[in-house]
Chain A
Amino acid sequence: MSIKHSVKYASFAFALIGVATGVSASDADNFPSKPIQFLVAAGAGGGTDNFARVVRPMFEEAMGGARITVVNLPAASGALAHQRTATSAADGHTLDFASTTLVTSLAAGQNPVGLDQLTPVARMQSDVMALFVNPERFPDFESFVKYAEENPGKVTVGGTHTASPDHVTFLSLRDASGLDMNFIPYDSTGNATANVLGGNIDATTTSLSPLLSYIEAGQMMPILVFSDERLDDYPDVPTTVENDWDLTDGNDRAIFVHADTPAPIMKRLEEAFKEVYDSEDYQSYAERVNLDYREGWMGSDEYRQRLENNYELYSRLLQND
């Protein structure tokens, strides 16, 4: 046990020495010139962590056998991982695996490392967000809206902590629909779900994949999906876009690097992740964890543009809250 940890410790120290001695950064042909570090901006065992650990061997192969260490830095909604990425050498050897929480916590002022210091290599997953209710209570979105209009201020919607993707989804829905609803933050998706199942709160805004088993059992139902098009599995569930609300955000999982990373290295990394994304192994993993409802891949430039837009929107929503 402790030996395993000292190995981890030693390899980590190794990586740090590498960073300190500084390797010529512009040399994309020699990339990677030392062990690559995956910093996971989330705790061990969660969705982002699983994502990083599944991608690791595939990425190793795509990079022609690079050595990779994975370090979890969950503290402060992952802000420590972002900070360490931003202060490391801009040579593409430190990769930050983060979720949408990066941009939501940035908008909330909890994360001091902005998009001027970090830039995305690519987005690989985008879990569809939706509004979920107990179908015995609200059979469809119309009845939910009717109830909310008749009982202003009485509707309670749960989700994970303040400034989480769940929370900004709720805020953007409230902002677009003009319904008077309250958000109750919970420690985890599980707790929010339990409170909807137990009838203690009215609804929850969260991503689709963790709730599939409840939908199958008929205990929970999405009544509104945040998507351009209706999902194949839920043809009767309306979308935000149908309601003329331009809200199609998901809970994303993406890879970030230091903003000054040279373009050739950025290109090399993006290509490697694209190769991973297209591989059969990765696609079967995405299917297994139910993340195949929509295209997960988004390249560096496009995703950066999207994040900048979202940052503006989320800052406004969180400030008005």
Chain B
Amino acid sequence: MLEHFLGGLAVVMQPLNLLLLTSAVFIGFIGGALPGISGVILVVILLPVTYGMEPTTAFMVLTAIYGATVFSGLITAILYRAPGTPEAVMTAFDGYPMTQRGEAGKALGIGVLSSAIGGLVGTVALIIFTPMLAKMALKFSSPEYFALAVLGLTVVASLGGRLIFGLIGAALGLFIATIGIDPLTGTSRFTFGNLNLAEGVGLIPVIVGLFAVSEVMKRTLDHENHQPLKKVKVKIFDLPILRQIGMTLSRSSIIGVVIGILPGIGASTAAMVSYSETVRWSKHPEKFGKGAPEGIAAPESANNAAAMGALVPLFALGIPGSGTTAVILGAFIMHGLQPGPMFMLTSSDLIYAVFAGLFIVNFMILLFSKPFIVLFTKLLNVPYSALGPIIIMCCIVGTYSVRNSMFDVWLMMGFGVLGYLLEKINFPLVSIILGLVLGPIAESELRRALSMSQGDFSIFLERPISATLLSIAFLLLAVTLITPLIKRARRKTAAT
């Protein structure tokens, strides 16, 4: 295996390949940082360009773009609360408050380091375990996915703030997720005969609206002033911080890899679940959402690890683990290659070159992200009266380009207003996103599992993985709900 890897590294190190790889990383940086323009769109746009290349080079370039976009979504998420990619939405929750406190440099440094570490863990897992992990992923079917989604949803109870708001938010997210043609029966739900709603409400208009647009509204309407950021110093290696987030990084990277490997759920879900688990295991859950370093480390290490993990089922089984990998699968077919069980044997040179390329990409993120970020921080000196409209324009173009739909743009504006109003009452927006991302998984997998078992609920308990996940979810929920009651009771006895 090491031999193969070194062989791949030699291919990557050829001057032309290295040059293309570097350009791919920069293209990925730019695309990822612009809100609405995600890895999927970039890969689709650049696909025709790769037809003229050798397959090995072509896939090195495409996967490098993919890796770089997942990383660079964090820049605008931290600086402007305008997540550049859906994967980076969780990063905004703690990254942006840090910027508001004048700690943008620190936040970005944590983000870069976490991304690179998560990416490296993911790549190593990809290189060593691809055949083995792919088999594991096949054990995951509907009952297991449902249990995983339930585990993720129970964290609403641990989020800070008022529990009732959390529940309303999650329910709202779940509701939005039901809009559209029901994939299992084909019935239209809440579409009011409007074809634009038949496909459902996309994640991008909601995220861009709730976070980016509402923030521009807030700063414009409320004349909110921020500490002027004269100089942002990005420090990537900071030992005390590293000690603080070390545990979070290791846990989140592993969560990221595992979730990434599962076909059908991607890096956004991984970021969400690892953020939830970090909140749950933290001694100070109340600090999250207000600028906790762990709140950046968790989603960023997890989404980059998951992005790499999503390539495992693609290479080993020909099954894409996320939207972007589905497009890469299409690209393989266009190049006359057929990823599948035999792919590792028939095209191992290509695969190891791609692996080596991804390995290098993660180091490039560490090296090149700093000058790139500095460019973006310079924008902070632009007066907000000019910057705000530019952000809105990027949001409109980005959202429009996802489905070529003006309807989505109006939807985004609507969610912008909603986000602005909800924040006035300190409503936790994270719970809406939680419901929206995990809702469709929970709903359709529950129904799929029940049709597998002909309506018998015991399928969730008979299968070991789903039974374990569900009991963990139940236990954790019980603990989070009961602990405050015990504390209160103790305080009462202490008082009397």
Contacts and interface: CB of A to CB of B under 8 A. Distances in A.
Nearest to B47: A45
Contact of A197 (B198, B317, B448): B317
A163 B186 contact: yes
A6 B393 CA distance: 12
A79 B339 CA distance: 31
Contacts of B329: 190
Contacts of A201: 141, 452
B358 to A, nearest CB: 20
A9 B31 CA distance: 17
A213 B44 contact: no
A76 B331 CA distance: 24
Contacts of B185: 162
Contact of A72 (B186, B404, B451): B404
B334 A185 contact: no
Contact-residue bracket for chain B:
35 or more
Interface stretch (B35-43, B160-168, B430-438): B35-43
B7 interface: no
Contacts of A46: 326, 330
Nearest to B444: A187
Interface in B148-188: 181-186, 188
Interface in B320-347: 320, 326-327, 329-331, 333-334, 336, 338-343
Contact of A213 (B137, B198, B338): B338
A108 interface: yes
Contact of B397 (A2, A212, A213): A2
B48 interface: yes
A208 to B, nearest CB: 12
A48 B435 CA distance: 32
A185 B198 contact: no
Given A50-B334, A76-B181, A76-B195, A195 B188 contact: no
A213 B342 CA distance: 7
A195 B143 CA distance: 12
Contacts of B307: none
A191 B400 CA distance: 28
Contacts of B34: 1-2
Interface in A61-103: 71-77, 79-80, 83
Given A1-B30, A75-B196, A188 B264 contact: yes
Contact of A79 (B42, B198, B317, B338): B198
B487 interface: no
Contacts of A197: 138, 317
Q: How big is chain A's contact interface, by range?
A: 35 or more
A212 B338 contact: yes
B448 A184 contact: yes
A1 B327 CA distance: 18
A44 B44 contact: yes
A83 B341 contact: no
A195 B140 CA distance: 8
A194 B319 contact: yes
A156 B459 CA distance: 15
A200 interface: yes
Given A184-B448, A191-B319, A45 B330 contact: yes
A1 B33 CA distance: 11
Interface in B247-287: 263-264
Contacts of B400: 9
Contact of B41 (A44, A110, A161, A186): A44
A182 B454 contact: yes
A2 B394 contact: yes
A139 interface: no
Interface in B216-232: none
Contacts of B317: 194, 197
A190 B186 contact: no
A4 B45 contact: yes
A74 B199 contact: yes
B205 interface: no
A72 B404 CA distance: 7
B401 interface: yes
Interface in A1-29: 1-2, 4-6, 8-9, 12
A6 B397 contact: yes
B103 to A, nearest CB: 29
B405 interface: yes
B259 to A, nearest CB: 15
A220 to B, nearest CB: 9
B341 A217 contact: yes
Contact of B198 (A110, A163, A199, A212): A110
A6 B400 CA distance: 11
Interface of B: 27, 30-31, 34, 37, 40-45, 47-48, 137-142, 181-186, 188, 195-196, 198-199, 263-264, 313, 317-320, 326-327, 329-331, 333-334, 336, 338-343, 394, 397, 400-401, 403-405, 444, 448, 451-452, 454
27 contacts: A1-B30, A1-B31, A5-B37, A5-B401, A6-B397, A12-B404, A44-B44, A45-B331, A46-B330, A47-B330, A76-B181, A110-B186, A110-B198, A153-B454, A182-B451, A188-B264, A188-B326, A190-B319, A194-B138, A194-B263, A194-B317, A200-B142, A213-B318, A213-B340, A214-B341, A216-B340, A288-B333
